[in-house]
Amino acid sequence: MPRPRTVFLGSDAISLPLLDWLVGPEGSALVELTAVYTQPDRPVGRGQKIQANAIKQWALARGLPVHQPEKITPEVRAAYAASAPDLALVMAYGHILRDDFIAVAPLGTLNFHASLLPRYRGASPIQTSVANGEPETGVSLMRIVRQLDAGPVADREAVRIDPLDTALEIEQKLAAACAPLLARALPRLLAGQLAFVEQDHASATFCRKLTKEDAALDFAAPAAALAARINGLNPWPAAQVELQGQPLKFGLADVVAGSAAPGEVVGADAEGLLIGAAGGLLRIRRLQKPGGKMLSAADFLRGSPVAGGTVFASRPMAPLVDTKPFPVLKKAV
């Protein structure tokens, strides 16, 4: 029997371990990866040079056809249908897919969502899981439906969130978790034995697209909540305060015993800068000033000391999670 023709749709480097497995000995024995759909090349970095994303670079290096539609137009949908894929795998693609597109592949259009559904549906599940102080997160394999991340789930792969994990470390853990999840599910799917179970929609929570305004910190909040938020917002938008009229980014934090007025610097220990918050002292382990690199607190404070008694102003922090969807700013295509 011919191997099912499989198309991948994604635009973020988190999918690279999944793709490597798909074209490796195990995956390629089961399916044939025939094409990759990804976002158009975009300006990147300070110089804003147009650059292909990691998924396109991976595909071109392996001689795979790459499609980069700006929008999923009727013409794009027709061409996709004409290519007759048997299976479509999606992760962090960046387009909302219509029902007629979803229905093309007879084996299904399956999505890898970076949370343990039904929790953290939406645009920032990795950052928000960390920022909300969760002890674990994971990847869910689901069928795509038109409702936001609401499709039935076939399997999940959990990963632990350690106390000093940032969103960057968790993204790497989740990337690695995709391969064993697919390795378990794909043989069952091809044998017609993969069961998809409806989510408990009443237990769903939702996260939104992050903005630069989410860098704000309110030091009247519990120190543990602030530490989780700082870690979850690293590397972007990165929590920050103002020091002598300049932004100061916080890259990693935890909590130690003690008390001080909200936002007041009480000194430093061997691991970080100590700042007052509710229920303890917030210890900032990594800091970055404008134009500099993110440094350990010890290295940073040697060159840029922060005086005891300095008080960082609090700013309101917008909620990152809700029990209902946040307003959708992007139209379906």
Is the domain of 272 the same as that of 183?
no
* 104 alpha carbon, distance to own chain's centre: 27
Is the domain of 202 the same as that of 226?
no
Q: What Rg, from alpha-carbon coordinates, does the chain have?
A: 22
In sequence order, what are the beta bridge partners of 111?
90, 142
Is the domain of 27 the same as that of 129?
yes
Is the domain of 184 the same as that of 84?
yes
Distance separating alpha carbons of residues 296 and 164, to the nearest angstrom? 13
Q: What is the pLDDT of residue 161?
A: 98
In the three-class reduction of DSSP (H, G, I as helix; E, B as strand; rest coil), residue 260 is classed as coil
Neighbours of 167 (CB within 10 A): 23
Is the domain of 194 the same as that of 292?
no
Distance separating alpha carbons of residues 49 and 45, to the nearest angstrom? 7
Q: What is the pTM of this model?
A: 0.94
Q: Do residues 164 and 81 make contact, with C-beta atoms less than 8 angstroms apart? A: no
Is the domain of 226 the same as that of 77?
no
Distance separating alpha carbons of residues 140 and 238, to the nearest angstrom? 26
Question: Does a structural domain hold residue 331?
Answer: no
Instruction: Count up the domains in the chain and report the number.
Output: 2
**Token digits for 265?**
């610097």
Question: Does a structural domain hold residue 321?
Answer: no
The residues near 78 (Cβ < 8 Å, ≥ 6 apart) are: none
Residue 194 sits at φ, ψ, to 5 deg, of: -90, 115
Is the domain of 187 the same as that of 73?
yes
Question: Does a structural domain hold residue 183?
Answer: yes
User: What CATH number does the domain containing 25 carry?
Assistant: 3.40.50.170
Sheet architecture: strand order including 321-322 = 121-122, 206-207, 321-322
Helix boundaries (H) for 132-269: 167-190, 223-232
Asked which of 206, 241, 265 is the last residue of a domain, the reply is 206
Q: What is the pLDDT of residue 330?
A: 44
Task: Cite the beta strand spans of 152-296 per DSSP E.
Answer: 153-160, 206-207, 240-243, 246-256, 265-268, 273-277, 280-288, 295-296
Asked which of 182, 206, 230 is the last residue of a domain, the reply is 206
Query: Which range of residues forms the domain containing residue 90?
Result: 5-206
pLDDT in tens, the chain (333 residues): 799 999 999 999 999 999 999 999 999 999 999 999 999 999 887 788 999 999 999 999 999 999 999 999 999 999 999 999 999 999 999 998 999 999 999 999 999 999 999 999 999 999 999 999 999 999 999 999 989 999 999 999 999 999 999 999 999 999 999 999 999 999 999 999 999 999 999 999 999 999 999 999 999 999 999 999 999 999 999 999 999 999 999 999 999 999 999 999 999 999 999 999 999 999 999 999 999 999 999 999 999 999 999 999 999 999 999 999 987 644 333
Is the domain of 240 the same as that of 110?
no
Is the domain of 231 the same as that of 198?
no
